[in-house]
Amino acid sequence: MVECFEQHSAPLGTHSIANYTKLTPLLTVLQQPNIFGKQQFINKTRKVELAQCCWRLCNNTHIFKTAKRQYLVYSMNSPKIGAISGISAPIVAIICILWAITTYPAFSWTNNALSDLGVVPGVTQWLFNGGLCIAGGLVLIFTIFGLHHYVNKTLIGRAGSWIFGVASIMLVLIGIFNESFVSVHFIVAVAFFILVSTSLFILTSHFYQTRQYTITSFTATIAIIATLPWILQLILPYVSNVAIPETMSALAISTWTIGLSTKIHKPTQNPNNPVTKEPKC
């Protein structure tokens, strides 16, 4: 591959230098290991020469077509998709749950669980169960394309994102296996809240290790808020059912998801976003 570029290279000039500025995204792709096998292929002394070569070959070579195709796929898989999904998930869940509550006047915050809405015949169960399934799917997309990219520098960060991803699957299963499936519903519901709290505490450790102290404090606070209502309910029951603990915990988790998604969506504030990383020379 190196010899191919050497054969087509020409003397440097102002025109090639101008073209180089237009090829920054292409150079980013050319550095990916799955195209050339070596990230150090592009060095400081040959950037302009390579840009000029690519500019001439872009319309008639398989090399450029492959690079362009992989760049488009890479862009589509950017963390921005995950960030948008992370912002959308809580909004979808909250709207669907509140809408379901308005269709069931008998619902009581102290005497019911939110999951009771999932077995009310008619539009109520479809709003509640469907909202949870959609929100869970969006959270999974957020985890894969957003959270995992953001925390993948450390093993503990990756572990936290994996656990959060499993929790998102549990959220989908809560919508699929409603209270009619008594034992299964109980297992996936309990697993969801335990896994989310566990992942948040693990991610707190990751953020602390990577010296992101603001996010560390934010994540630790949310983890405590999401866990405390359940601890109090177990030790000193303050309501006859669990709608209030569920809501408090879910709102805390939603706040964290939206907050981190917003940070991921801003390239200038996201040092781990692979789309916004500067090419390594």
| pTM for the whole structure | 0.71
Q: What are the sequence ranges of the domains in the chain?
A: 2-75, 79-269
Q: Are 143 and 157 in contact (CB under 8 A)?
A: no
Closest CA to 100 of 123, 132, 134, 119: 123
Q: What is the DSSP string of 89-144?
A: HHHHHHHHHHHHHHT-TT--TTT--GGGGGGSTTHHHHHHHHHHHHHHHHHHHIII
> Which of 6-15, 154-163, 209-218, 222-231 has the least mean pLDDT?
6-15
User: Average pLDDT of 236-248?
Assistant: 95
What confidence tens digit (pLDDT) does each residue in 28-65 have? Answer: 544 554 444 444 444 544 555 565 555 555 555 555 55
Predicted local distance difference test score (pLDDT) of residue 7? 46
Place of tokens 């003397």: 11
d(CA 131, CA 115): 12
User: Average pLDDT of 254-263?
Assistant: 96
